[in-house]
Each structure stands twice: as C-alpha cells, then as structure tokens.
Structure 1
Amino acid sequence: MSAAAAADVAVGTKPPGKGAAFGYWWDRVGIGLVLLLLILLMALLAPNFLTVDNALNVARAVSINAILAAGLTMIILTGGIDLSVGSIVAVSGVGAVLLWSSGTPTPLAVLGGVAIGALAGMVNGALVAWLALPAFIVTLGSLTALRGLAYSMLNGQPLVASELGYRGLGNGSIAGIPQPVAIMVVVYAVTWFLLERTRFGRHVYAVGGNMEAARLAGINVKRVLLTVYMLGGATAGVAGVIFSARVLSAQPTAGTGYELDAIAAVVLGGTSLAGGRGRILGTLVGAVIIGVLSNGLVLMNVQFFYQLIIKGLVIIIAIALDSLKRFGRGGS
C-alpha cells in the first residue's frame, strides 16, 4: 500500500453506511446550523449583540482560541492531544515581552515568542514520537512545567510594557480588520493548505487513521508526530504574542484554561478525538461557536461561575457527539 493510498483510506470521502449518517451530515451541515441558531438566539436574548462593535469584539476574542485550535487540529488528527497549549501561550508571551524589553528589535522579539512556542511543542513531540510516551501524560506534565517556567521568568510578577513595540498585533487594525483576526485568517489559510494540498497533510490523516498501516506504507510516523506538535506549539506561540500585545504586558497566568476551549472548538468542528477525521474549516466554525457563546453570556450578565458550568457542558456535549459519530462508523 502506498502512502497516498493509506491516507485516502484513513480520510475517507463518503459515508461508509447508514450508521454513519449522523456523523457525515453533522460534519458538513450540522455545525453550521448550530452556529446560525446560536447567533439568532443571542440576538434575541443578549443586548447589543448584533452591533458592529460587538462583532469586532467577538472576532478579536475568537482569534486567539481559533489560532490555538488550528494547531491542535493537526495534533488531534494524528490521534494525539496537547494539554500544554495554554501554558505555551504564557511562556511565549512572557518571552516575547522580555526580549523586547531587553532591546531586541520588535520583529525578532515577535519571532522569538513564536520560536519559544515551537520549541516547547518540539519537546512534546520528541517525547511522544521517540520515547512513545502517552501524549496525554507528556503534555499534562508540560502544562505544569511551562506554567512554572513562565512564573520563574518573571519572578512571579507581571511585567507591564505600555509602549510595547508590537502592541498593534493585539489592538491594531488593517483596513478596518483587527490585526488578530487578520493573523487568524493567515494561520487558517496556511493550515488548510498544509492539510488539504500537501503530502504532509495526507500523512497526517494516514497516521491518525491507522498508525501502523501508515508506518508499513513507508510514512515516517515519528517525523509527522514531531512536526505536528512543533506546529501546534508555534501556533500557541503566535497566540501568546497576540495576548501579550493585547494586554501590553507579560502575564504568567496568561492562557489558563485555554486548552479546554481550543479542544472544544476542534471537536465541535468535527475532528475526531480518535484521529484521522476532520477538517480545519470546521475547527474555525467551532471556535466561533465558543466565542459567540462566551460573548452572549457576558452581555446577558450571566455570572462567571455559571459561564464555566455552561462551557463545561458544551465540552461534554462535544465529546459525546464525537463518541456518537465514532459509534455510528463502527469505531471503538
């Protein structure tokens, strides 16, 4: 079996039977309908929801989670997971601000923050690929270690940088479009191209569909795993730089809990936690759903702890839908 054939088997282009009808149509139509219904609901219940200013606020809020979810999509497509992306947001943002504060030129400070994220992802990927350690355990450990690193880099205190050279990345606009949204569009365009138009993308789907079959087909599975975790770390680094630009400071608490929203966006968007199935544009819709829900709850003055309960239920529903789809396809 060739690598391309293995990928085609893993991805699949048609529903395999009546039992898979729910998953097939949910991935293509259902998630869009959910977003439409949610927007209509919020328009009725949330004051000032359908205003231009609020739409821009939603777009800015969605951008960071969507960028995180783009990287996570590639990881989850291989059957992996990365629980450390929220901590990578923190350490990358802290690194970028520290670099800029030390006199590093702004472009290099930004690239440095992204590189820190990519390096953290590469370490995760190396442990998963070469030592065959469970991704859940590796990234759970990284979540704690990287959060501690962010604190240690600042001696436990936030660093305010009111004149931050790249502050426009978090608060500026290009032709009326918020810069974080423009960056998000670029990230999704690149990710879509990698997954849908390159051999690497076919290999990602093949590894997630059946890792052993992919290995027998000649795919370098370890290289694929290392690459997706590194790309996931890099996108988390981008999110961290944007976050630091938005708040004009280095915050060791940045990104706390962001991994849950990102995973929810990926699964809501139709990507299977078992790997091998999913589309990057579905992830974007899933991220918008999370953003619209959060924004609407704030506008309705729902207390924060109730917001956590609702978002937690959304995550459970997303995982339940994934299990239902896999059951319909005959998966375990």
Structure 2
Amino acid sequence: MTLQTDTASLSATTAPPAPSRRAAEFVIRWSLPLILLVTLVIATATTPGFLSFENLRGILINTSVIGIAAVGLTPVTLSGNLVSLAVTQQAMLAAVVFFPLLAVGVPLPLAIILVILILAATGFAQGAFVALGLNPMITTLAAGAIIFGLATLATAGRVVSAPEVDTRWIALASPLGLPLPIYIFVGFTILTTFFIDRTVTGRKISLAGANRETARLSGVSFRAATIAAFVVLGIGTAISGIVVAAQAGQATTLDLPTLTSNVIAAVLVGGTAIQGGFGSPLRSALGALMIAIFSQVMLLHDFPHGVRLAAVGLLVVVMVSVLHVIRKKAI
C-alpha cells in the first residue's frame, strides 16, 4: 500500500505540466511580442504616415530613451525592491552635469564616463539606504527631491549647454540607417541581460526577488544584491539622460517630466513582476517599444496630452492584471 502511494506521488511529481499550465506559460512568454505585432498592424492600418521614415525614426529614438532607463530599472524590480520614483531626476542630473563638463573643456568620452560614474554613485547611495531596510519608494522619492533641489540651486533654473561642442551627432547619427541611440539601447540591453543571467551578482538579484528567505538561507546577501541593482539603474539613467541632452543640445531641470511614469510602465508592461523574481531586461526593452508605439499613435491622432497619459496608465493596469491572472494559472 505504501509502495503504491509513493509510486503515485512520484508519478504526480514527475508528470508533465497540465495543458492549462503549458498554455499559461506560453502566453506569459509570447504575449508581449504578439501584442506588439498586433499593435503594429493596427497602427499601420489606421494611422496615416505611421510607416514614414521620420515617424519610425522618432519612435526608435523615444524607445531608446525610455528603454535604456527601463532596462536599468529592471534589476531593481527583479530584486524585490519595487520601482524607483527618481528616474526623471537622475536622468535630468546626468543631462545638467554633462554640459558643464564639456563647457570647461573635458573631452566628450571622459565627460560621458564621469557622468556615468556620478549617477552610479547616486544609485549606490540609494541602494545602500534601501539595503538598510528603508522603504524603496520613500527612499527614491526623497532622493529625487534632493537631486532636483540641488540641481535647481546649481543651475539657478537656467538652461545649460555647451555651444562650442556639437553633441547632436549622438542622436542624429544613423549607422546603417538606424539612429545611434538604438545601438546604445541594444548594447545596454545585451550587457544588462548578460549581467542578470550570467554573473553571480545578477543571479543573486533574481533569487533575492523570487524568495528572500530562500536567498538568505542560500547565503545570498540581499544588501549586496540591492546595491548592485540600484547601481545598474544609475548607469541606465545616466545614459538615457546623456542621449536626451545630446539630442536637444541643452538641458534644464524641468526636462523629462514623464520619464519616470513611462519607464515604470515599460517595465510592468514588459511583464516584470512588481514583487520581484520574474522578468528580464529584454522584456522591459519590448515594453518600452510598446509604450513608444502606443504614445506615438495617439500623438498622430491628436489625442490631448492628458488622454495619452491616462491611456498609458490604463494599458499598464490591463497588462499587469492579465499577466497576474496568467501567472496564477501557471503555478
């Protein structure tokens, strides 16, 4: 009797997943690419000029700005630290620091490196406070306020630029017909994916978000994983801010007012679980593309700014709700 029971239990354990679970896993994996494809088809059919060169170029550049920061935010969410509310302020800081460095004669490559290091340091500081047990939302909200206040004091609210240095080629250059920011975006996505999937620290970030207690018992340092995740976010916002600043040729502390909401939307629409443990930089990159296309279609149809913001919010609610239900079926 016992042998039969054990055999039955073993069979149940090793049995292949139920069809409903396999279907749910398929939907989780392929839902976003399919939705993207459908959105592209509908946009092409209903929006005059959608496939024009200038429109597609604009979508790609917007995708890169949102996507670089969204890819940077992904490790924070994966690690179980929700999201950052200081994305806009960090990217703005990168922009307003970038031009003064150029203005005093710092070579462009060195200026880029210095901005990335400064933003990585701001990420480290935020990660350290969160690792000590502070709420990540409150910590990043406070950090954003501090960054904005100090940047406003430093610039006196004025536009900063470096007229003697041409930076717009960073946004306008198009190797092989694609805007340079897209190559930067793809490269950062690949590097972040490698970091998450192929390095010890990256795997610890995912494990810490999936099950903090299991991670602790396995010897994973939640503090180290949290700090590393916020450093990646700092790097992502630095690159995003530099791309925006280079494109405009100037920067102010009031730039990028909707970046935080768009970046969070991209991460969540991409399917990264808000509680952590599931997601990937690639999914966030696709989420950014989805947000950029969705926003551009509404812009071409002359929807008011408020309607566009509300529609993006509704898209996030629908996608997160659907994926939550599907994940429950897959468990």
Partner secondary structure for residue 74 of structure 2: helix
Structure 1 residues 253-292: aligned runs within 5 Å:
253-292=254-293
Show the counterpart of 1:223: 224
Q: Distance in 1 between matches of 2:263 and 2:301?
A: 23
**Secondary structure at 1:223's aligned position in 2?**
helix
Q: What residue identity is the alignment partner of 2:200? A: R
Residue 21 of structure 1 contacts residue 328 of structure 1 at CA under 8 Å; is this kept in 2? no
Offset of residue 19 of structure 1: 7.0
AA in 1 matched with 2:32: I
Q: Answer yes or no: is the 8 Å Cα contact 1:114–1:241 preserved in 2.
A: no
- The equivalent of 1:295 in structure 2 is 296
Name the structure 1 match of 2:36. 35
Native 8 Å contact 1:19 1:328 kept in 2: yes
- Give the letter aligned to residue 309 of structure 1: A
1:163-182 alignment, distance < 5 Å: 163-182=164-183
**Counterpart-to-counterpart distance in 2, 1:165 and 1:122:** 31
2:92 paired with 1:90 = yes
Q: Deviations over 1:167-205 (max 9, x none)?
A: 322222223221111100110110111112222222111
Secondary structure of 1:166's aligned partner: coil
Contact 1:75 1:232 in 2 (8 A): yes
Between the aligned partners of 1:195 and 1:69, the Cα distance in structure 2 is 14
Give the superposed CA RMSD: 1.9
Q: Relative to 1, partners in 2 of residues 1:206 and 1:46: Cα closer, same or farther, differing over 3 Å?
A: same
Distance 1:216 1:181, change over 3 A: same
C-alpha distance in 1 between matches for 2:23 and 2:266: 19
- For the pair shown, the structure with the greater C-alpha radius of gyration is 2
Q: What is the Cα deviation at residue 22 of structure 1?
A: 6.7
Partner residue in 1 for 2:316: 315
Q: Structure 1 length as normaliser, TM-score? A: 0.89
**Structure-1 separation of matches of 2:238 and 2:217:** 34
Look up the SS of the partner of 2:264 in the other structure.
Answer: helix
Provide structure 2 residue ranges, at least 5 long, that are not aligned to the other structure.
1-15
Amino acid aligned to 2:130: V
Listed as ranges, the matches of 1:1-332 within 5 Å are: 24-80=25-81, 81-129=83-131, 131-328=132-329
What letter corresponds to residue 261 of structure 2 in structure 1? L
> Which structure 1 residue ranges, 5 or more long, are not aligned?
1-14
Deviations 1:68-93 (A, max 9, x none): 11011111001112111111000111
Distance 1:304 1:245, change over 3 A: same
Do the aligned partners of 1:64 and 1:239 also contact (CA within 8 Å) in 2? yes
TM-score, normalised with respect to structure 2: 0.89
Per-residue CA deviations over 1:261-304 (Å, capped at 9, x if unaligned) read: 11111111121001101122211111111010111111112222
**Alignment coverage as a number of residue pairs:** 315
Which amino acid in the other structure matches residue 216 of structure 1? L
Q: Deviations 1:231-254 (Å, cap 9, x if unpaired)?
A: 111110110111110110022112
